[in-house]
Amino acid sequence: MWLHVVSSVGWMALALTLLALLALATTEPGSAPSATAMAHFLDTVLLAPLANTSASTGLVLSLGTAWGLVHQRWVLTKFAITLVQLYAGIFLLSRALDDAATAAEAAPAMVGGTLAMAGALGFQAWLSVTKPWPRTRWARHRRTGRPVRLPTAPPALFAFAVLAPLVDIAVGTFVGFPTPVLSLLSVVAAAVMRQRSLRAPEASGRVQTSPTVPAIGETRP
């Protein structure tokens, strides 16, 4: 999904921008008022919406495609990192930036926090490109032991997942703070569709599995 790539790149760019502004505020006291004010503005207007968009579209891609959310270790790792980043960004960084803009000074710890955020985003990008590590135990059916073939969600879900963040950003701009309501709804819809699609084969006595061709280095029982 193109919006996931664009928002993730934007999130990374904003993280590096905040890092530069906060580093300037801590090393050049005379620039602290303008640097902290700009950092707070960018966090509220750009970084938060881009982070929400990247997270929601990433979850929809995981839940709506064959990759799955818990079937690939690299996807599960990205999901865990994203949860930590969202918590730290909403409850720690945003509040710290608000206080820094009010006091016209930035604490050195904020530089370390933004550096950690940029590093985590870079690591997630590496995971997306290399896709390391084997699958999780949930990637095989518990009865047959064969790889589970996850169904792909209908195109309407992905269209909604693209439109939802754009509407949320427009509404957030109007009200003055991020409102990722439709983005959350798209994630819930993807989770519900995935759960229903997995239950359907079991209800009819059929199990969706991958072809029985053995993987490299794997022998048949």
The pLDDT of residue 213 is above 70: no
Name the DSSP class of 139.
G
Q: Are 60 and 157 in contact (CB under 8 A)?
A: yes
Q: CA–CA separation, 82 vs 58, rounded Å?
A: 10
CA distances 120 to 24, 114, 214, Å, are 22, 10, 35
The pLDDT of residue 211 is above 70: no
The pLDDT of residue 152 is above 70: yes
Q: CA–CA separation, 52 vs 165, rounded Å?
A: 8
pLDDT at 201: 54
pLDDT tens across 9-22, in order? 999 999 999 999 99
Query: What is the maximum alpha-carbon separation in the chain?
Result: 72
Q: Which residues contact 215 (CB under 8 A, 6 or more apart)?
A: none
Which alpha helices (H) appear in 65-107, and where do they start and end? Answer: 73-88, 94-103
The mean pLDDT value of the chain amounts to: 88
Global pTM? 0.85
pLDDT tens across 34-61, in order? 999 999 999 999 999 999 999 999 999 9
Beta strands in the chain (DSSP E): none
Residue 44 phi/psi, 5° resolution? -75, -45
pLDDT at 158: 96
Q: Taking Cα atoms as reference points, which of 48, 33, 26 lies closest to residue 92?
A: 48
